Chains A and B, each alone.
Chain A
Amino acid sequence: MSANGTITQALREAAAQMLSDKKVGVVIGYGRDEGQEFSTPVFLRKAEEVERLVFDDLCFGNLAVYLSRPAIRKMGKTGIVVKGCDLRAVNVLLRENVIKREDVLLIGVHCGGLGEPRLPKCLVCEVHSPTGCDVVVGEAIEQPEVKAEQRYTKADEIEAKPVEQRWEFWQKQLSKCIRCYACRQVCPLCYCKRCIIEKNTPQWVETSPHVRGNLAWHVARALHLTGRCVGCGECERVCPMDIPLGAINQKMAKVVDERFGFRSGFSAEDEAPFTTFSTEDSEEGIL
């Protein structure tokens, strides 16, 4: 059996264990029915259903997105299968009081990287082995050393362009946006009851898919994710129009890293950069 095979088996046992002991109301994991070209999330309520659990290198989705859903919250304590990148998102949710640590059972999975070819985020992944979980399955994977400049390659690439070209590039990209809000739906950190888009007194962002509104929308999303986005890459992956949304978030992650030495999601107790200040922050550029 392949490495994933053993993991699947271990996952099923852990899930069965939890469900039979009534420790959790639901276990969220990945399932793979025939004919699907990637694993979809499954919600197991009873021990018998654990057979549906599977772990292979197509389990892209960030299951943390379901933790903030009221329906799931109503099911009581939740078990969830988390890869390293998913766990970073869970940490942000813990920090923002969306869930309480005692309400969630983390089943960590040692993940060496998914997708053929490897997803870009897995190449620079620093969290192959998740920490702080309740249960961990799979063998520990040796963690390669990731240098700082490797982290924000997409953003660096665009930033290298001169300002006019950058403007042209983004005008072209953003004009493609059809405002389907898939990026919002898939992002675990976009859990607002009523998104700024739905506010019309006053209307912060024009809702028509015109580049004017699109720019405002993507600026708003970038600002809302500054110092929170953990770089799970889902928004870019699901964007039907293939807009390089990850680059914007990577740019803001780079800004926050360089200016405040802050990287999101590594602990549930850290302070989001925009909710605090330091008297020593740089004044450069202020008249």
Chain B
Amino acid sequence: MTEKTIKLTIDNQEVQTEAGQTILDVAKSLSIEIPTLCYHPAVPSAGACRICVVEITAGARGGLVPACSYPAQDGLEIQTDSERVRQSRKMTLQLLLARSPGAKIIREMAEQYGCEELPLERKDDDCIMCGLCVRVCQQIIGTAAVCFAGRGPDREVSTPYKLLSDVCIGCGACAFVCPTGAIDPAEFCSNPLEKIANEFNCGIDNRTPVHIPFPQAVPNKPVLDRDNCIHFRTGGCGVCKETCPAGAIDYEMEDQVVEEDVGAIIVATGYKLFDTKVFEEYGYGKYPDVVSSLEFERMVSASGPTDGQLYRPSDGKEPKTIVFLQCIGSRREKGGVPYCSKICCMYTAKHTILYKHKVHDGQAFVFYMDIRSAGKNYEEFVRRVLTEKMATYLRGRVSKVFPRNGKLVVRGADTLSGGQVEISADMVVLAPAMQPSPGVQELAQKLRVGYDQHGFLLEAHPKLRPVETNTAGIFLAGACHSPQDIPDCVAQASAAASKALGLVSHKQLTREPTIGVVNELSCNGCFECENVCAYKAIEHKELRDRAGNLTAILAHINEGLCQGCGACAVTCRSKSIEVQGYRDDQMFAEINAIGR
């Protein structure tokens, strides 16, 4: 068909566009709002739900036609919001509401169109039979695991003979396009895709293989998780590629190893939380209502999985009594880490305030050893929590947490009153110790940076060079160095950044003078020094006589590369190499001094 342009008017707006589009497409281009239910840009339209009907006033057989599938033709005059259209949509919604009172989208649309109660026969089936799931499965994914069964009012979406489907690849495309969320592939797929826990939200909610890791991600773009993506597991699906307007998805892309010559490296590998499952006495991992402070943080966060509402993971109710346990794993020789994780006291105080805002009649308790509020205005902050009775602070350790008729009993000591305390709580929040991120030891060895027995990286000097390491050009920032809260991390980060800039901004590199020098008179050119040099700093230097012919090839040290370790000096039999500052005579002088 030739690319012919057509002219039509929608809501008295004249528009010229190419043929081959539907009325909905043209309306969208004029940003005219037409409601849809059984339409999805990636799925061929069916014109089933009839909510998108518009009125043709001229140019074709008049009457109501579905905008999603009626082709835009030359000379058409269309009204998208006439009284006849509103009445039809209203009745469609009345009928769908009678069929699916529970469907949120239908309720919202019905309100929008002012539907009132009609004496209709009520049903309670969330599925509005729009057919999107069937069409996406048949025509996009190509598996055709679900189809329509039956006819008329008892028509339903199901697998053949309602049996578990063995062709369904569990891609979840049907659930993705379903307007009312009525379909759940887990019910009929024989190899259901396990739900993918959302790592950032500590597994409280789930995520799809294509997802934006977390709201503040930089760049704030979705990423494709190959292990769980159906296309990579079975070759099917491919919906994301089709619907991406920017065509940004390319399944053939491979990981690339990018080698970059850099002047400086800032190590900021952050921290992870101690796995408190090892302490059976607290029951983390055994009782669902025992959560970590990170999970609690995510739950009370407005952009979190529960939109800021606090629910008990076991039964979804709002916790009325909550107990915060400090120093779980921290300051603990056996089984934990000996150091104090520094930030838990402050964020727990913050959590008690947040809890008070969320659950006004709630009661919070905090078991602590000592409150470490050593930052600016930190002590005043904790003082406010105490004075305004946000929480009851109990000084003492907790010995056991165990369930009793629906609640969690927290048994601990209260050293100030000298007795033992038992609190039956709805939820227990543990403040786990901070540890360096996994894999930081291997990184440190690769970068030749020192680290302590806990895995925190070693600074060059705690007082004089806190953000630098022993290896020139490598700097530290944040929790990889030691447990730190955000203000400290930010301060350190800016320090490390300025140190790095200081390093790379000069034309020349200032560095330790203690490097090797070759005495060309005695060097035999055996180059055994070259074999032992870890930095490849030994070069072959050609000596020529005045006539230009080669007299000898001797060793020469590249000042930029040599780090002054002295391995070559020891290997050289003729002692032709010496390290500045540790010359043989200087060493002998020291030995002689000790000898006398």
Residues of A within 8 A of B (CB): 96-98, 191-196, 199, 201-202, 204, 224, 271-272, 274-276
User: Which B residues are CB-close (under 8 A) to A201?
Assistant: 585
B574 touches A194 (CB 8 A): yes
A275 touches B524 (CB 8 A): no
B585 touches A192 (CB 8 A): no
B525 touches A97 (CB 8 A): yes
B528 touches A192 (CB 8 A): no
User: Which B residues are CB-close (under 8 A) to A96?
Assistant: 524, 526-528
User: Which B residues are CB-close (under 8 A) to A194?
Assistant: 521-522, 574
User: Which B residues are CB-close (under 8 A) to A224?
Assistant: 573
User: Which A residues are CB-close (under 8 A) to B522?
Assistant: 192-194, 199
Q: B531 contacts the other chain (Cβ, under 8 Å)? A: yes
Q: How far, in whole Å, are A96 and B521 apart by their CA atoms in the complex?
A: 18
| A199 CB to nearest B CB, Å | 6
Q: B588 contacts the other chain (Cβ, under 8 Å)? A: yes
Q: How far, in whole Å, are A196 and B570 apart by their CA atoms in the complex?
A: 13
A192 touches B571 (CB 8 A): no
User: Which B residues are CB-close (under 8 A) to A193?
Assistant: 521-524, 574
Closest A residue to B540 by beta carbon equals A97
Q: How far, in whole Å, are A37 and B52 apart by their CA atoms in the complex?
A: 120
Q: B575 contacts the other chain (Cβ, under 8 Å)? A: yes
B531 touches A276 (CB 8 A): yes
Q: How far, in whole Å, are A146 and B184 apart by their CA atoms in the complex?
A: 79
Contact with A along B527-538 (1 / 0, CB 8 A): 110011000000
User: Which B residues are CB-close (under 8 A) to A271?
Assistant: 531
B573 touches A275 (CB 8 A): no
Known: A193-B523, A202-B585. 8 other contacts (CB 8 A): A191-B524, A192-B522, A192-B524, A193-B524, A194-B521, A194-B522, A196-B573, A275-B531
Q: List 11 A-B contacts (CB under 8 A).
A: A97-B527, A97-B553, A98-B526, A193-B574, A196-B574, A202-B588, A202-B589, A224-B573, A272-B531, A275-B531, A276-B532
Known: A202-B588, A271-B531, A275-B531. A97 touches B573 (CB 8 A): no
Q: How far, in whole Å, are A105 and B521 apart by their CA atoms in the complex?
A: 30
Q: How far, in whole Å, are A274 and B531 apart by their CA atoms in the complex?
A: 10
| B453 CB to nearest A CB, Å | 18
Closest B residue to A192 by beta carbon equals B574
Q: B14 contacts the other chain (Cβ, under 8 Å)? A: no
| B518 CB to nearest A CB, Å | 13
Q: B166 contacts the other chain (Cβ, under 8 Å)? A: no
User: Which B residues are CB-close (under 8 A) to A192?
Assistant: 522, 524, 573-574
Closest A residue to B587 by beta carbon equals A202
User: Which B residues are CB-close (under 8 A) to A196?
Assistant: 573-575
Q: How far, in whole Å, are A196 and B584 apart by their CA atoms in the complex?
A: 12
User: Which A residues are CB-close (under 8 A) to B527?
Assistant: 96-97
| Most chain A beta-carbon neighbours within 10 Å: one of B522, B523, B585, B588 | B522
B571 touches A274 (CB 8 A): yes
B573 touches A272 (CB 8 A): no
Which of B521, B571, B585, B588 contacts A275 (CB under 8 A)?
B571
User: Which B residues are CB-close (under 8 A) to A275?
Assistant: 528, 531-532, 571
Q: How far, in whole Å, are A192 and B525 apart by their CA atoms in the complex?
A: 10
> Which residues of B577-596 are within 8 A (CB) of A?
584-585, 588-589
User: Which A residues are CB-close (under 8 A) to B585?
Assistant: 201-202
| A260 CB to nearest B CB, Å | 14
| Most chain A beta-carbon neighbours within 10 Å: one of B526, B573, B584 | B573
| A75 CB to nearest B CB, Å | 16
User: Which A residues are CB-close (under 8 A) to B588?
Assistant: 202
Q: How far, in whole Å, are A195 and B574 apart by their CA atoms in the complex?
A: 6
A202 touches B584 (CB 8 A): yes
Known: A193-B522, A194-B522, A271-B531. A204 touches B584 (CB 8 A): yes
| A206 CB to nearest B CB, Å | 12
| A204 CB to nearest B CB, Å | 7
Q: How far, in whole Å, are A199 and B526 apart by their CA atoms in the complex?
A: 19
| A205 CB to nearest B CB, Å | 11
> Which residues of B538-596 are within 8 A (CB) of A?
553, 571, 573-575, 584-585, 588-589
Q: How far, in whole Å, are A224 and B528 apart by their CA atoms in the complex?
A: 12
Q: How far, in whole Å, are A97 and B553 apart by their CA atoms in the complex?
A: 10
| B243 CB to nearest A CB, Å | 52
Q: How far, in whole Å, are A98 and B574 apart by their CA atoms in the complex?
A: 14
Q: How far, in whole Å, are A201 and B519 apart by their CA atoms in the complex?
A: 13
Q: How far, in whole Å, are A192 and B574 apart by their CA atoms in the complex?
A: 6
**Shortest beta-carbon contacts, A-B, top 6:** A275-B531, A96-B526, A202-B588, A202-B585, A194-B522, A192-B574
Q: How far, in whole Å, are A88 and B589 apart by their CA atoms in the complex?
A: 40
B575 touches A204 (CB 8 A): yes
Q: How far, in whole Å, are A194 and B521 apart by their CA atoms in the complex?
A: 8
A97 touches B521 (CB 8 A): no
> Which residues of B486-532 are within 8 A (CB) of A?
521-528, 531-532
User: Which A residues are CB-close (under 8 A) to B521?
Assistant: 193-194
| B528 CB to nearest A CB, Å | 5
Closest B residue to A271 by beta carbon equals B531
Q: How far, in whole Å, are A195 and B573 apart by their CA atoms in the complex?
A: 8
| B566 CB to nearest A CB, Å | 15
Closest A residue to B553 by beta carbon equals A97
A97 touches B574 (CB 8 A): no
| B534 CB to nearest A CB, Å | 10
Closest B residue to A199 by beta carbon equals B575
Closest A residue to B573 by beta carbon equals A224
| A65 CB to nearest B CB, Å | 15
Q: How far, in whole Å, are A193 and B520 apart by their CA atoms in the complex?
A: 11
| A183 CB to nearest B CB, Å | 15
Q: How far, in whole Å, are A199 and B573 apart by their CA atoms in the complex?
A: 12
Q: How far, in whole Å, are A204 and B591 apart by their CA atoms in the complex?
A: 12
Closest B residue to A96 by beta carbon equals B526
User: Which B residues are CB-close (under 8 A) to A199?
Assistant: 522, 575
> Which residues of B312-336 are within 8 A (CB) of A?
none
Q: How far, in whole Å, are A113 and B573 apart by their CA atoms in the complex?
A: 33
| A207 CB to nearest B CB, Å | 15
> Which residues of B126-142 are within 8 A (CB) of A?
none
| A202 CB to nearest B CB, Å | 4
Q: How far, in whole Å, are A271 and B527 apart by their CA atoms in the complex?
A: 12
User: Which A residues are CB-close (under 8 A) to B575?
Assistant: 196, 199, 204
| A76 CB to nearest B CB, Å | 13
Closest A residue to B525 by beta carbon equals A97
A97 touches B531 (CB 8 A): no
Q: How far, in whole Å, are A195 and B572 apart by their CA atoms in the complex?
A: 11
Contact with A along B274-311 (1 / 0, CB 8 A): 00000000000000000000000000000000000000
Q: How far, in whole Å, are A201 and B588 apart by their CA atoms in the complex?
A: 10
Which of A97, A202, A204 contacts B526 (CB under 8 A)?
A97
Q: How far, in whole Å, are A195 and B528 apart by their CA atoms in the complex?
A: 16
Q: How far, in whole Å, are A271 and B524 apart by their CA atoms in the complex?
A: 18
| A190 CB to nearest B CB, Å | 9
User: Which B residues are CB-close (under 8 A) to A191?
Assistant: 524
Q: How far, in whole Å, are A96 and B574 apart by their CA atoms in the complex?
A: 13
Q: How far, in whole Å, are A272 and B527 apart by their CA atoms in the complex?
A: 12
